[in-house]
């Protein structure tokens, strides 16, 4: 999980403070903010202070916190791939309150409510890959079952599924980047011999460097592209089963 710089001072300064002071600080923070901190910075002292806090301790014991961390890390990593970053963690706005308010709103089982909320958000976010699973299975190193059979019974198994899906996605984009670079190299090393498939003219391309630059620029686009971003780069190149570059008919 990426480390939000806005929380770095908390993560590095809190271990220098006594627990009673940390409890005062954490009591004023939202549950959502605490989860971001604890998942971004692996600091056992912070986790101990959360579990020993008089209010937060009702939401998290060490086992609950460890399980919640796993689901939240998956959710947060995937939500950061979203196109709309205007509202961070939009599926967990119910956790954007302090522990006292949350407990008041969930009197019966507040700890279950936190874990259930994070589980549901993680499942929903991973479920956004559903339209792409058939494609990603080609690149996956493990089994990707039908979403109907996904479960949140085990945090570790859920994280493993998430890792398989996102690793397959990364591999797919890496292969596309390699293909783009290979195409640029082919144009550069075979001047006057290759044309773009949509161009039926047999006249040599006047500015082949433009084609080379476009292909190399596309590699930069794909380096940071993710399926969940909603933006699909290089569609003109990869949308057809036919080769993007073909030799002239001569």
- pLDDT at residue 176, rounded to an integer: 93
Distance CA 216, CA 90 (A): 35
Q: Which structure tokens are listed for 230? A: 């909603």
Q: DSSP letter for 54, please.
A: T
Backbone angles phi, psi at 17, to 5 degrees: -105, 150
Adjacent-strand bridge partners of 247: 194
Q: Which structure tokens are listed for 32? A: 């959502």
Q: pLDDT by residue (tens digit) across 191-241?
A: 888 888 777 666 667 788 988 999 999 998 888 778 887 766 677 788 778
- HSE at residue 26, side-chain half, CA atoms within 13 A, is 31
Q: Does the structure show a pLDDT above 90 at 8?
A: no
| pLDDT range class, residue 81, cuts 50, 70, 90 | low
* H/E stretch holding 223: helix 208-223
**Model's pTM, two decimal places?**
0.85
Q: Rounded mean pLDDT of the chain? A: 88
Q: 22 versus 108: which is more confidently predicted?
A: 22
Q: pLDDT by residue (tens digit) across 151-196?
A: 888 999 999 999 999 999 999 999 999 999 999 999 999 888 888 8
Contact 42, 90 (CB under 8 A): no
Q: Which residues contact 156 (CB under 8 A, 6 or more apart)?
A: 70
Backbone angles phi, psi at 203, to 5 degrees: -75, 135
Q: DSSP letter for 191, please.
A: T
Distance CA 12, CA 9 (A): 5
Task: Report which of 141, 172, 164, 169 is spatially closest to residue 238, judged by C-alpha positions.
Answer: 172
- pLDDT at residue 208, rounded to an integer: 84
């Amino acid at each position: 999980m990426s480390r939000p710089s806005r929380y770095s001072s908390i993560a590095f300064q809190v271990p220098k403070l006594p627990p009673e002071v940390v409890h005062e600080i954490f009591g004023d923070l939202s549950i959502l903010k605490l989860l971001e901190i604890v998942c971004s910075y692996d600091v056992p002292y912070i986790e101990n202070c959360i579990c020993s806090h008089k209010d937060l301790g009702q939401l998290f014991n060490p086992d609950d916190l460890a399980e919640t961390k796993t689901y939240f890390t998956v959710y947060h990593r995937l939500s950061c791939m979203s196109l709309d970053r205007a509202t961070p963690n939009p599926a967990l706005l119910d956790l954007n309150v302090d522990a006292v308010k949350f407990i008041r709103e969930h009197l019966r089982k507040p700890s279950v409510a936190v874990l259930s909320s994070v589980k549901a958000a993680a499942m929903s976010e991973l479920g956004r890959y559903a339209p792409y699973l058939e494609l990603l299975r080609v690149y996956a190193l493990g089994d990707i079952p039908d979403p109907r059979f996904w479960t949140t019974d085990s945090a570790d198994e859920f994280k493993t599924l998430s890792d398989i899906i996102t690793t397959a996605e990364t591999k797919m984009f890496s292969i596309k980047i390699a293909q783009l670079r290979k195409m640029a190299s082919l144009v550069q090393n075979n001047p006057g011999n290759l044309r773009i498939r949509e161009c039926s003219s047999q006249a040599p391309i006047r500015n082949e460097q433009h084609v080379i630059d476009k292909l190399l620029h596309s590699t930069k686009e794909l380096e940071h592209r993710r399926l969940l971003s909603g933006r699909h780069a290089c569609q003109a190149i990869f949308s057809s089963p036919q080769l993007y570059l073909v030799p002239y008919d001569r």
